[in-house]
Amino acid sequence: MRLLFMGFGVGVAVGAGGCYLYLSATKQPQAARVARGIAFDEEQHHALKFGAPETEIVRQYEGYIAAYDYRTRNPKWVLEHITRSSSSGDAKRDGTEFFPDPGVDPHFSAKLSDFRGSGYDRGHMAPAADHKSSQKAMNETFSLINISPQVGAGFNRDYWARFERYVKELTYAAADVYVITGPLWLPTQSQSQSQDEPHKGGSTGGKWTLVHDWIGKPPGLVAVPTHYYKVVVADPRGGGEPGNPAVAASSESESQLAKGAVAVGAFVMPNQPIDARNPLSAYVVPLEDLEQVAGTRFFPDLLEDPRRRAALDTAAAGWRQEGLMQLKPFERLSVKQALAALPAPTSGVTIETVDTKISNAAVQETVSAPATSSSSLLSSSRALPPPPPPPKTPPGTGVLHVCDVNACRMPRPDFYLPSGSSNNNNKPRQ
């Protein structure tokens, strides 16, 4: 009898333990404040008696994870993992609708009405076209937690859309592509301050001023970013299918990818129309500088090694220089001004100073130049660039710059059109 009761007791204990583990594994996750990926216990500090202040929320969807900033009513960052299969499924954009995220307190959420009549597009951070593996995954990209106000013509519907396509095509060179996308608010620097009147930072340059639009109705206004960024990691170690002509790489970079080197690149673009002829490499930025202005550490598990960061910044300097040199002088000045808070990196290479003394004739050329349509850009575009140059990332660190893979060559402005078509009146968004 004793053995019987003992057996019964053990069975109850095992069953209760199993039930506890099952419930623990299936219950909905509780809200947590996270610092460098580690949630802290609110009972550990006496100051947390009534809870820690909430300034953002992190939400997880099928295709992406997003951190939402209560103050700006914008996503702070959106992290997605894309593959060839996830971006080439049968899901359709037709019939999908934008919706307020149910996990965001309505007091801090952007609203659909904020965008109506604002003059700005509802711009995806994680593009819908990256998540075609299921209709649910695509539909979820229309949550407002993934949306930020973007300039439409010339940016969201044009250059930024081509950039999204460029990132998507990296899945032909590497099995897995990880992307962090987000908004930025970068200041501009005035040049009126005299040398003997330094501002508080001790610099003799002009004052830094941040000016940007807001949309919606107070007090719940939505901040319009001045810039947007992407940090891209192309990881070939999952057995991708390299060799697609759209991402043709140099033999040296192909060799590094084949050996398991991970390609990384950081890019920042102003939230404004960008000339379709501008090379993508002109918008390459050093990772360290981007992290400082974004207030975010990107891919820390991959990029914690300072040697990797130094190697990537060296490559970024080379690619940025090459991109700037493909621009006309007044275009170089425009890009330099747009990214003034993110100066070109100088570690390991010498960056030629971009001449800011533009002649009156060059400025006049810019002012008097007529608006150029995408179709005319196609007919008058510059000659195709030469074969990809050798990689600019110093070897031996296990990483290379993403531009080393395909010289950061963007898709043509008409990439969205069927082969042989010339009608560009109805541009589908990514």
Please give the pLDDT value at position 419.
55
Domains defined along the chain, listed by start: 56-406 (3.40.570.10)
Q: What is each CA distance from 284 to 35, 81, 260, 281, in whole angstroms?
A: 28, 21, 23, 5
Per the residue annotation, which of 124, 131, 227, 401 is the catalytic one?
124
Cα–Cα distance list, 285 to 272, 299, 309, 336, 405 (Å): 18, 16, 12, 11, 17
Q: What is the chain's pLDDT, residue by residue, as a tens digit (430 residues)?
A: 444 444 544 444 444 444 433 333 333 333 334 433 445 555 578 888 888 888 999 999 999 999 999 999 999 999 999 999 998 888 888 889 999 999 999 999 999 999 999 999 999 999 999 999 999 999 999 999 999 999 999 999 999 999 999 999 999 889 899 999 999 999 998 876 444 444 444 455 689 999 999 999 999 999 999 999 999 999 988 754 444 433 444 445 555 565 678 999 999 999 999 999 999 999 999 999 999 999 999 999 999 999 999 999 999 999 998 999 999 888 888 998 899 998 866 644 443 433 333 333 333 333 333 334 333 333 334 455 556 667 788 888 889 999 998 889 999 888 777 655 555 444 555 4
Half-sphere exposure of 426 (CA within 13 A, CB side): 2
Residue 193, C-beta contacts closer than 8 angstroms, at least 6 positions apart: 199, 204, 205, 206, 207
Looking at residue 136, its pLDDT comes to: 94
Q: In angstroms, rounded to a whole number, what is the distance separating the alpha carbons of residues 141 and 152?
A: 18
Distance CA 62, CA 60 (A): 7
**Per the omega criterion (within 30 degrees of 0), is the bond before 219 cis?**
yes
- Where residue 369 falls (left for φ over 0; alpha for ψ -120 to 50; beta otherwise) is beta
pLDDT at 173: 87
Q: How far apart are CA 133 and CA 167, in angstroms?
A: 17
β-sheet bridge partners, residue 80: 64, 179
- 124 catalytically annotated: yes
**What is the full DSSP assignment across 67-104?**
EEETTTTEEEEEEEEE-TTTTSSS---TT---B--TTS
Q: What is the pTM of this model?
A: 0.78
- Contacts for 429 with CB less than 8 Å, ≥ 6 apart: 93, 124, 128, 156, 157, 161
**What is the structure's pLDDT at 95?**
83
pLDDT of residue 26: 32
Task: Give the integer Cα–Cα distance in Å for 333 and 372.
Answer: 20
